Structure 1
């Protein structure tokens, strides 16, 4: 991304740790590197980032609603829960406002999925506590690592783990088969 034109303010980019952030501004260093200043603080070199493809947000919203209808209809909800998870993960990276819009007033369904399928907004049952998933991604640094930033849902959950948000993570090869219980939003 360093040799291309600087991304516009408001553009979403994938960072080396797998998280997606919004570009607040850009600047060139004395050495000629393009730096992206990120919304919420921090900066990263542009050549270490990738632009997020935000062209499929409407499609992802439709997929989330279609999967939610299938889940509410009952039966085998596994494929619908997977489709919903894919849509939610995409929206968390490409258009967090659309994800927030879908989350308002949404019911939840409890499902068991591989840890790699955990999405932003899920409530993860982990360490005997219920943890709100604030962000999740796969890091491309060194060996691929799945991670999630989490925070206890209630004061009791926070006492059982940590009072402040914290990060949990494991190798992608384990996260692909490690089954966990989550409460996932089902958009209205």
Structure 2
């Protein structure tokens, strides 16, 4: 008898919290969720655009159905290569989000992180309908010693720029840009 009682689960006085897939909000249609998010953020004044975007990204990380409702934004602001990498991961989740991106503002000031160019290039490659890009970098994105050949943006960023159909480009802090990017 003692062995049998030891195998039975102990009862608790609290209920297990609902998981996102079990929650009622997970069953709502995307249109309803989108409207809820619009209303929730409508009168909230953000100190800056990036914080408002961060809240939408947080909503999108709750579950798959929330991601498709919260994240198809036409404009994103990214202030570091780590945030560019995080946004790239979020955009990879749904094709609808990737197709919605029309404008990117990327600021990468003073970062001394290797692989910055690759992270930014990946983000650019996930935005096939990108029309406007503002890129503000204070340090070259190219590999050390390759500035003369690749320009300040580096080969991976240059190649990613050649694949998108930009109508407007703003480059700040970039002193050298290959002619091939300008002549596409």
Please give the TM-score of this superposition, normalised by the length of structure 1. Answer: 0.28
Could you say which structure has the higher helix fraction? 2
Instruction: State which structure, 1 or 2, has the greater radius of gyration over its C-alpha atoms.
Output: 2
Could you say which structure has the higher strand fraction? 1
Of structures 1 and 2, the one with the larger relative CO (CA 8 A, separation 6+) is 1
